[in-house]
Structure 1
Amino acid sequence: MDTKAITAELAQHVPATSTLENAIDDIGPADLEDMHTFYSDMGWLIAERFSTLEDKQRVFELIELGMRNGDRRLKDAVSTGLIEAMISRTGAQPARWRQISAELGPLSAAYVRQ
């Protein structure tokens, strides 16, 4: 899967605002800043709406796929955008972070432990 496919499928599984949904088509391969912002917003939403995500397993498979993908920009957006946003959003809620971190794949979990 390429960056655009991962991004589009992830957005399908995370209840998002229309702004985020519309942003997918606007993210081009060179738009690292926009991509990072999009993934940060997505991480915030995952943490915020974790208990209501319909397919948590697929969401976290896609996160892991993004970490494993050879595209450096995607890996950067997933790690420093999405994962760090989830950590930040759950900072005052350690029990929620434990639930979320239990879903992380090996590469994602290794990034958190760094």
Structure 2
Amino acid sequence: MVRSVDEEPHVRLERWGIMQDGHGYRLVGIHAGTGGGRVTSPLVEWNGHAQTAVTESGRQYHLVGDPDPVVAAQIIVAHAARWGISGDQVAMAEPRELEEFLGPKPGWRMN
């Protein structure tokens, strides 16, 4: 069972990847503390340089090492099977896609 954000506000994710579904982009990977597979809630912040992300739930993730597309694909397949999601409703994504999706939008300027 996933602990609440209040109980576990920060998670280190190993052997990670990125999944795109109808709700946006999510991280998938291995929880460094438990060794279990994890699929996050949709991402709202992404810092590829620092390898950090924040999800809709408010949980902060630190990504350890490089992406692992093999493990990420296995977690995505298991997630889709568990929730009855067809393969055409989920896809692997690249970190650069997050930069485009969560980066500054046209017309945005820092004050």
TM-score normalised to the size of structure 2? Answer: 0.30
Q: Which has the higher strand share?
A: 2
Q: Which has the larger radius of gyration?
A: 2
TM-score normalised to the size of structure 1? Answer: 0.30
Q: Which has the higher helix share?
A: 1
